[in-house]
Amino acid sequence: MNKKVPLYIQAKQYLENEIASMPPHGNQLESEPVLTKKLKMSRGTIRKALTELYREGLISKWRGKGSFGHPAVARLPMRFDVDSNFRLLLEHSGYRVHLTRSAWRETFGTEEMELRIPGARERSYVTFDQDFFADDSLAIHTTVCIDMGFIKVYPEPGEYHDNINKFFLTHCKMKSEHVISWQRAETNPLIASSFGLPPETPLLCWQEVYYNVYDECMGYIKINFNPGIMDLSMLLHFS
């Protein structure tokens, strides 16, 4: 076992592999005492791993019968309800990933931004593009607009490794506390062509607004996904 990886994560990874290979009607997990003995870990460690799997929807608990794994969920690609870090989603799908950032430019808010941020057209923004490449093919194109009033360090162009949360920590006067996202479809001939697709191809587009602890709008991000690479999925529960 890898001593650098917490034991509950090792137990979770073991169970994830077991669940992914389970057939229908053969998906009952071994009991906590059996797993404790088999993996030579404490019952608390096993229970923590099972709790994580339950939270992610990979198992269900049936009172009096035990836990059942869901292989269909375990095999889902690019689950953004579990992790919205696009680099990790691509890496976990087997891609070699690198990211680039353009030089920044000063812009004013657009009419599209005004729909999400009232008053955006009267404010100036530090704007730049970030691209995610998967095996050298453009997978995601993003346009990032950060309110000029929150910038403390201007971003430099080139290859980068930080995610958006780290960007706010290092480049802004305060961190972002939460983000609101909207999903829509649009046609954008220029971006579609950069994805190697016909110009009229409909693209999945996310609009995101980032807020600080005072509920002030710090920034706006528009994200376009290459449908030939990004197979985003999420697990839904019905009440």
Question: What would the mean pLDDT of 143-147 be, rounded to a whole number?
Answer: 97
Domains along the chain with CATH numbers:
7-74 (1.10.10.10), 86-225 (3.40.1410.10)
Question: What would the mean pLDDT of 212-236 be, rounded to a whole number?
Answer: 95
Q: Give percent above pLDDT 70 in the chain.
A: 98
Type of residue at 48 = K
What are the tens digits of pLDDT across the range 69-79? 999 999 988 99
pLDDT at residue 1 above 80?
no
* Residue 105 CB contacts under 8 Å (≥ 6 apart), including other chains: 126, 127, 128
Task: With cut-offs at 50, 70 and 90, classify the pLDDT of residue 29.
Answer: very high
Per the prediction, the chain carries an average pLDDT of 93
| Bridge partners, residue 151, by sequence | 172
Question: What would the mean pLDDT of 63-71 be, rounded to a whole number?
Answer: 93
Cα–Cα distance for residue pair 81/65, rounded to 1 Å = 28
What are the tens digits of pLDDT across the range 164-213? 888 999 999 999 999 999 999 999 999 999 999 999 999 999 999 999 99
Q: Give percent above pLDDT 90 in the chain.
A: 85
Token pair 């929807």 in the structure block, residue: 57
Question: What would the mean pLDDT of 1-9 be, rounded to a whole number?
Answer: 80
Query: 3-class SS at 83?
Result: coil
Is-contact 145 187, C-beta < 8 A? no
What pLDDT score does 2 carry?
58
Task: With cut-offs at 50, 70 and 90, classify the pLDDT of residue 4.
Answer: confident
Is-contact 176 165, C-beta < 8 A? yes
Question: What would the mean pLDDT of 137-141 be, rounded to a whole number?
Answer: 98
pLDDT at residue 233 above 60?
yes
213 versus 239: the higher-pLDDT residue is 213
Is-contact 145 127, C-beta < 8 A? yes
Question: What would the mean pLDDT of 213-223 be, rounded to a whole number?
Answer: 96
Task: With cut-offs at 50, 70 and 90, classify the pLDDT of residue 238.
Answer: confident
